[in-house]
Amino acid sequence: MTAQTITRPSAAAAPLADPRAGKYLTFHLGKEEFGIQVRHVREIMGVQDITAVPGTPRHLKGVINLRGKIIPVVDLRLKFQFPEAPFTETTCIIVVQVEQEAEQTMIGLIVDGVSEVLTLGAVDIEDPPDFGEAVDMPFVLGIAKCKGSVKILLKIEDVLTLKELRGIESVLL
């Protein structure tokens, strides 16, 4: 009888799971497709009356009252510098919950329409391209290759910064 040594890979040698992998709600702005992690999505609703807040940037459309809670609403077309377009029957608000500096905040995102929920693996996601220092894309989590198309995955907590949110709150007070 001979002794066998079994070696197991150390934890450091084991591949780390890509935190970007998982379920994404996909939506479109014009012809472009985007995705946000489902864990951030709280609700999808039709466009309702939005109360404009004076003194806010153009992409901050205002606030809505969602079951007694005031939520800022961002027009993603304007935030991403796409041409403004009239709302249609597919235009909707995706309500997301994000954590910024240990604060939980809900934000409404106006999009042209919701597409589907996709499960993306690490092999489906690439790092965003480097366009140089002149192009800052802190809210792009990655680029997904799926079903013959490309989807831009958003780091939703960076789409609207805490500084912008606090700016809305100071105008409301």
Helix, strand, coil proportions of the chain in percent (round to 5)? 15, 45, 40
Residue whose C-alpha is closest to residue 145's, from 169, 173, 121: 121
pLDDT (tens, 9 = 90+) of the chain, 173 residues, equals 555 555 444 444 445 577 888 999 999 999 999 999 999 999 999 999 999 988 888 889 999 999 999 999 999 999 999 999 999 999 999 999 987 777 788 999 999 999 999 999 989 898 877 655 545 567 888 899 887 889 999 988 887 766 666 555 554 44
CATH 1.10.1740.10 describes domain 22-172: no
Answer yes or no: are the C-beta atoms of 94 and 109 closer than 8 Å.
yes
| Rounded Cα–Cα distance for residues 134 and 159 (Å) | 18
- Residue boundaries of the structural domains of the chain: 22-172
Stated pTM of the model: 0.81
| Rounded Cα–Cα distance for residues 14 and 24 (Å) | 26
Which residues are CB-neighbours of 138 under 8 A, at least 6 positions away?
Answer: 155, 158
